[in-house]
Amino acid sequence: MLKRLIYSREGVLSIIVLTMFFGVGVISPDFISLSNSVSIFNDTSILIMLALGQMLVILTRCIDLSVAANVAFTGMFVAMVNQYFPELHMALLIFLSLFIGALLGAINGLFVWLLKVPSIVITLGTMSIYRGATFLLSDGAWVNSHQMSESFIGLPRYEILSMPVLGWMAVVTIVLFFWAMKFSVWGRNFYSAGGNPMAAFYSGVNVGKVQFYAFLVSGTLSGLCGYLWVSRFAVAYVDVANGFELQVIAACVIGGVSIVGGLGTVVGCVIGALFIGVVNNALPIIGVSPFWQMAISGLVIIIAVIANASSGKDKARIILRNPNANDEIRAN
């Protein structure tokens, strides 16, 4: 059982992340303190949520390049609403961010579902469109901390059991995803639609619709992260999260989500995001030259992916697992 755990993709990746984490701890003991661990997790929360949304999209053999632009647009939108109507309740603003994000995600999804346009083309287009729309919306102006209400900035920072709400939101998202992807038919359909679309079609799964759902969820999470991002850094401007979609996709790939679809787990995806989070937080602490930083983060990503790929080699991949038949499979 333990051996199986260690040799699984997630196991190998966890070992790499933990080695890195404690390795930095040798250089800077404060890095592995509980409070700093919580702050690293908190710092990675947005990436985790976006990566989970992206995982659904990648599972269905698509890709969503517009997540960061969605973050920027929704972030700017709710920030401006907050600026002009500071009395508006936060629950309403969060609902608004989810709604706007879902809308932008649905646009991607509808193109993929109904027009059968390759998702990379559509989301490459909407990536620029959403970013441009952010500019048109704001006229290039920034929304700054003093133009935001106290609760708008305070909510993700509010601490419950010494972890900020931002981190708890990631925890809730992880739990929901874990449950949905393992135990709900709705979640299992993402695997079947991506693993073998033809077989899925014949077993009554509407592959296009599943892809639509994937974009919808990815968009909704991007919308929420739009608010969280703008609130966390207390500023909204057009270039918010510029290029962040690449980190999101990298988190998925590192976490063992197969770029050709059908394979990937919630746990792997979260560890993949944490991997990037630890690298991002460790590099400034150990004082690596900025010219080396990019090369190093690229290198560790490649190493992680190689380690990951070789750990899964030569083994038949179970695409659809009956949750009740786990013991049966282990016996084989």
Partner 1 sequence: MKSKLITACVLASATLFASGVYAADQVRVALLVKALGIGFFEAAYRGAEEARKELGDVEIIYTGPTSTTAEGQIEIINSLIAQRVDAIAVSANDADALVPALKKAQQRGIKVISWDSGVGKEGRQIHLNPSSNSLIGEMNVQLAADAIKAKGKSSGTFAILSATPTSTNQNIWIGEMKKSLSKFPNLKLVDTVYGDDLADKSFREATALIKNHPDLDVIVAPTTVGILAAAQAVSDLGLTGKVYVTGLGLPSELAGHVHSGAIHSFAIWNPIDLGYSATMLAYNLVKGQGTKTEIPMGRMGTLKVDKNGDGAMAKPFVYDASNVDEFSSIF
How near is the Cβ of 199 to partner 1 at its closest, in Å?
41
Residue corresponding to tokens 């755990």:
5
Residue 157 engages partner 1 in binding (rule: CB under 8 A): yes
36-65: which residues touch partner 1 (CB under 8 A)? 39, 43
Residue 162 engages partner 1 in binding (rule: CB under 8 A): no
* Total of residues contacting partner 1 (CB under 8 A): 28
Q: How many residues does the chain have?
A: 332
Beta carbons of 258 and 264 less than 8 angstroms apart: yes
Per the structure block, which two tokens stand in for 165? 């709400």
Say how far apart CA 60 and CA 74 lie, in whole Å.
Answer: 25
Q: At what angle do helices 67-84 and 244-254 cross, to 10 degrees?
A: 130
Q: What is the CA radius of gyration of the chain?
A: 20
Number of Cβ within 10 Å of residue 176's Cβ equals 13
x/- string (CB under 8 A) for partner 1, residues 239-278?
A: xxxxxx----------------------------------
Residue 296 engages partner 1 in binding (rule: CB under 8 A): no
Residue 84 engages partner 1 in binding (rule: CB under 8 A): no
Give helix then strand counts, H and E, for the chain.
15, 4
How near is the Cβ of 320 to partner 1 at its closest, in Å?
37
Q: To which H or E segment does residue 283 belong? A: helix 266-286
How near is the Cβ of 237 to partner 1 at its closest, in Å?
8
Residue of 234, 296, 305, 307 interacting with partner 1 (CB under 8 A): 234
Residue 99 engages partner 1 in binding (rule: CB under 8 A): no
Beta carbons of 10 and 271 less than 8 angstroms apart: yes
Residue 163 engages partner 1 in binding (rule: CB under 8 A): no
Residue 88 engages partner 1 in binding (rule: CB under 8 A): no
Residue of 8, 281, 304, 308 interacting with partner 1 (CB under 8 A): 281
Q: How far is CA 163 from the centre of its chain?
A: 20
127-156: which residues touch partner 1 (CB under 8 A)? 142, 144-147
Residue of 290, 313, 323, 332 interacting with partner 1 (CB under 8 A): 290
Cα dihedral sign for 262, 263, 268, 269?
A: negative
**Residue number with CB closer to partner 1 (73 or 191):** 73
Q: How far is CA 235 from the centre of its chain?
A: 21
**Residue number with CB closer to partner 1 (204 or 287):** 287
**Residue number with CB closer to partner 1 (94 or 153):** 153
How near is the Cβ of 141 to partner 1 at its closest, in Å?
8
How near is the Cβ of 115 to partner 1 at its closest, in Å?
34
Say how far apart CA 139 and CA 144 lie, in whole Å.
Answer: 14
Region near partner 1 per CB under 8 A, out of 123-131, 183-191, 262-270, 279-287: 279-287
Beta carbons of 126 and 104 less than 8 angstroms apart: yes
CA 197 → CA 117, 194, 207, 305, distances in Å?
Answer: 16, 6, 6, 26
Residues that bind partner 1 (CB under 8 A): 28, 30, 39, 43, 142, 144-147, 157, 229, 233-235, 237, 239-244, 280-281, 284-285, 287, 290-291
